[in-house]
A and B are shown apart, each in its own frame.
Chain A
Amino acid sequence: MTLTLNVNGQTRSVEADPATPLLYVLRNGLGLSGPKYGCGLGQCGACTVQLDGEAVFSCLTPLAVVGERPVVTVEGLGTGEAPSVLQKAFIYEQAAQCGYCIAGMIMRAQALLDANPSPSDAEIRAHMEPNLCRCGTHMRILRAVRRAAGSKNAETEAVR
């Protein structure tokens, strides 16, 4: 059936079964590459997007529960030419190895920064806990989030 979604500030209609997880509609129906399939089980966070400002696992969110609430993917924050503050911080910190987890990391962090513009280091770690990175980019991801937050805790942990 035809459903209307609000994605990255635009109203989009998609042809899909309402039971379809949001992830597949974003990736295939709407051609957005940011949200990634990692587990489909809510265990890794590669698919993280913001729904109504909250970080959610799009792999576990059926279209039926999305309704017209705003969905934001990493594409909605900025572009390669005009990256957002958080995306810039990830670039500045070179916070990626393979990068497969990174779009999900950014979306989870954005949800934190929207709610709490200057989180403590402990708050950042606790908030990022659901998202996995296998390359071991964690220290850089934490630095990037701190940098974007402009937090007083920002410190350099590695040689640049």
Chain B
Amino acid sequence: MKRSASQLNRRAFLGAGALTVAFAMAPRALAQLPGASGGTAVRPDLPGDLKSTPMLDAWIRIDAKSAITVFTGKAELGQGIKTALIQVAAEELDVDPGTITLVTADTARTPDEGLTAASHSMQDSGTAIMNAAANVRMLLTNAAARTMNVAPETLSTSGDGQIHGAGGKRLSYGEIAASLSLHVEAQPNVPLRDPASYRTIGTSWPRVDIPAKVTGGEAYVQDLRLPGMLHARILRGPSSGTRLKNPPIDAVAKMSGVVKIVQNGAFLAVVAEEEWTAITAMRALQAAPFERTAPPLPQTGVVETLTRLPSRPITVLDAAGGTAVPVRTIKARYTRPWLAHGSIGPSCAVAWFKNGEMTIWSHSQGIFDVRRVAADLLGLDIENVHAIHAEGAGCYGQNGADDVAADAALIAHELEGHPIRLQWMREQEFGWEPLGPGMFVDLEAAMDDQNRIVAWRHDVWSTPHNTRPNTAGGVLAGWEVTPPFKAPEPQPIPMPEGGGDRNSNPLYALPAMNVVYHFVPEMPMRTSAMRSLGGHMNIFAIEQLFDELAASAGIDPLDLRLAHMTDQRARDVMTLAAERFGWSARPRGDGRRGCGMGFAQYKNLEAYCAVMMEVEVERETGDYRVKRAVAAVDCGQAVNPNAVANQIEGAIIQAISWTSREMVTTKPTHLTSFDWGSYPILRFSSVPDAIEVHIVDRPGMPFLGTAEAGQGPAGAALANALAAAIGVRLRDMPLTPVKVKAAIGVI
């Protein structure tokens, strides 16, 4: 009898539970977008991803010994989601979070919750787990009431995993669970615990993954070691759209320690017993020249490159209104080059093909898509592909994760029985990962004589922000094998989430707004999702234009924003940031120092974030540094305030890096940014002296995604601070010292 790792795992797992019955998943739909649930909504009346996976035992199982296992289809990407989800489950089950084991994205064990992306995990999975846990607590209480023969209202919980009755009577969850089926659908509107008596939510419970990460525990897919595991390296030209010309395959195949050269069409990989042998063999093969297979890379700037390509205009907003007469119009163009995700750890996957079944460990954000892609690529029945999420280095969007998972599966398929570990090299990650799209925005706004903004026009241009694969036509290996798989036509992500147009609709109350997204489907350079998608660019532009308008009217940039903002939560974060920053007493631009702010509600749907920064410029060189940054964020109920602060601090530093110094560089034949020397990022000497993150407390309010909320406001705050400091506005990223120096001129 054939038994896959997945079957064994499930069997081992099922054997341990008292409550487990038939497999609890519902059928799923294929189509998905970042942040959307992976399944069809079978119960639209339920909250979060209970809509697509309503069975309680798909989320929570309790064994007879009261061991609690919680399942999520979302994955840990370094954002601390494991910890936050455990906290949510613990709160609503009313148990110690330490008693919960969390299982993350695994095609054999967890609900398909689509991608872990777009700051959606707390809304989708957190909300589902919260309500599932409340349902389970209710069922446990009702069952205990029956056993004790009392009314459920007389029973209570106290955080210790027991149901307490009058006169010291109590039953542990395990005792009750032993004879209770959780294979039932969740009910809507089950009472949640009162936020005033929260024990776990709202506390900075230490992250569960950090101890292993600081002591060398096996924390990453890179650390997975399986019996008989072989090491593979992939052979490609220097970047997307190139391939090696006649690599010396025969000579390398004979090298000692080389197990196999895997070749299928243009797909080429070397497998060796030792990792270093695989790398040495790869280097020998790479000594071959390369050729370009795609059209030459454009050597023009982002505006020329994008406007030369066919584009499709998508109207985002077309609101006319107001009768006031404009007296002052400002028009400006803002640009961003192509950016790299730049994970510190190049993408990696482990694949094992055994007895006709493929198991893949991957750090992809879409583990169910890894499964679909591999099944399609290898012609395997989807049931025979098992994909398991294992952490990698932070990805910040679609890096090489999905490609390397398909690469590893293809290699493992050729070497049945051997687990294959494949890690890309540094230059392969830079050369082949989908990039964050180059973009530009044309903005025009007009004010009346009362300093009211009366007209607003926003045109944003970009190549696709979503080319995430769910077939073999979405990954590199699929394009290389014979016969090749066809890449699907890229589609824009519709608003309200949006792709290139994400956050192009200002939250400000403006009477007339006209916003158009010029979607450029053709990609001279392969692009896909990068943290905050178009949000970084659009907010960079909008928030700078606010400062330009304020300057032209001679009013404070914060006042202009508040004068056009009716959303109280938005006003609150701006006001809180201003208070903590000391905005009203800030150093005014003196050629050397300056302060600026940026605000957005991510997607106009998620966390509200205001960032203020002070920069200091060295006039002699144009070099500058952010002295301090203060952020205020409202993410609804903050499950773990320290983890929220961690995300926002990280977003601020990453956005300073993107905005100030990053740019993918090219020659007609290939990308020339291939390492940390040719693609420098922010280092310790350049990070701010201090970053403060202040969280607006919103007890019991719905979760709002936070992980990407800081990118746009931080980029804008930097540009505005710089403009305040030097008195000249820079609108083309990266805002390099060279540009600053040119703007300052000779001193």
A residues with CB within 8 A of B: 16-17, 20-21, 24, 27-28, 31-34, 36-41, 43-44, 46, 73-75, 77-80, 83, 87, 90-91, 94-103, 106, 125-126, 128-129, 131-140, 142, 157-160
Contacts and interface: CB of A to CB of B under 8 A. Distances in A.
B649 A80 contact: no
Contacts of B685: 125-126, 129
B218 A100 contact: no
A96 B210 contact: yes
Nearest to B213: A99
Interface stretch (B244-252, B297-305, B317-325, B687-695): B687-695
B681 interface: yes
B677 A102 contact: no
Nearest to B225: A31
A97 B79 contact: yes
A31 B226 CA distance: 11
Contacts, number: 199
B683 interface: yes
Contacts of A73: 216
A98 B649 contact: no
B384 interface: no
B343 interface: yes
Contacts of A41: 426, 675-677
Contacts of A17: 276
Contacts of A139: 649, 653, 687-688, 690-691
A34 B216 contact: yes
A136 B396 CA distance: 12
A94 B210 contact: yes
6 contacts: A83-B214, A91-B214, A97-B646, A99-B214, A125-B684, A159-B641
Interface in B626-667: 641-643, 645-647, 649-654, 657
Contacts of A98: 77-78, 344-345, 391-394
Given A96-B207, A98-B77, A101-B393, 20 more contacts: A33-B219, A36-B222, A37-B423, A38-B345, A41-B677, A43-B675, A43-B677, A46-B345, A94-B204, A94-B210, A98-B344, A99-B213, A102-B213, A103-B213, A125-B684, A134-B342, A137-B650, A138-B653, A158-B645, A159-B694
A136 B677 CA distance: 18
Given A40-B425, A103-B214, A138-B687, A94 B394 contact: no
Contacts of B426: 38-41, 43
Contacts of A159: 641, 645, 692-695
A77 B654 CA distance: 30
Contacts of A158: 645, 649, 691-693
B275 interface: yes
B675 A137 contact: no
B676 to A, nearest CB: 4
A67 to B, nearest CB: 19
Given A39-B426, A138-B684, A132 B344 contact: yes
Q: B interface, how many residues as a size bin?
A: 35 or more
B743 to A, nearest CB: 27
Interface of B: 77-80, 204, 206-207, 209-220, 222-223, 225, 231, 274-276, 279, 342-346, 391-394, 396, 423, 425-426, 641-643, 645-647, 649-654, 657, 675-677, 681-685, 687-688, 690-695
A37 B222 contact: yes
Nearest to A155: B690
Nearest to A37: B423
A53 B95 CA distance: 45
Nearest to B212: A80
B692 A28 contact: no
B676 A132 contact: yes
A143 B694 CA distance: 18
A77 B216 CA distance: 10
Nearest to B76: A98
A102 B646 CA distance: 15
Please list the 9 inter-chain residue pairs (A to B) with the smallest Cβ-Cβ separation, ordered nearest first.
Answer: A98-B78, A136-B653, A34-B216, A99-B213, A100-B393, A136-B650, A98-B394, A43-B676, A75-B216
**Chain A's interface: helix, strand, loop or mixed, by majority?**
loop
Nearest to A101: B344
A140 B646 contact: yes
A38 B279 CA distance: 14
A23 B242 CA distance: 30
A17 B342 CA distance: 31
A33 B530 CA distance: 28
A31 B426 CA distance: 22
Nearest to A33: B223
A40 B675 CA distance: 10
Contact of B392 (A100, A140, A157): A100
A118 B206 CA distance: 27
B206 A91 contact: yes
Contacts of B394: 97-98, 100, 134-135
Contact of A87 (B215, B423, B653, B677): B215
A136 B652 contact: yes
Nearest to A121: B689
Contacts of A34: 215-216
Contact of A132 (B78, B211, B681): B681
A94 B207 contact: yes
B135 to A, nearest CB: 31
A83 to B, nearest CB: 6
A83 B642 contact: no
A53 B274 CA distance: 28
Most chain B CB neighbours (cut-off 10 Å) among A80, A83, A158: A158
B140 to A, nearest CB: 32
A109 B279 CA distance: 30
Given A28-B275, A78-B215, A94-B643, A99 B210 contact: yes
Nearest to B714: A136
A87 to B, nearest CB: 5
Contacts of A39: 426, 675-676
A27 B274 CA distance: 11
A24 B274 contact: yes
Contacts of B213: 96, 99, 102-103
A137 B225 CA distance: 28
B345 A37 contact: yes
A36 B214 CA distance: 12
Nearest to A89: B214
Contacts of B219: 33, 99
Contacts of B218: 33
Given A20-B276, A98-B78, A106-B214, A134 B641 contact: no
A136 B217 contact: no
A91 B643 CA distance: 13
B683 A132 contact: yes
A40 B344 CA distance: 11
A74 B215 contact: yes
A142 B219 CA distance: 23
Contacts of B649: 136-137, 139-140, 158
A32 B225 CA distance: 11
Contacts of B396: 134
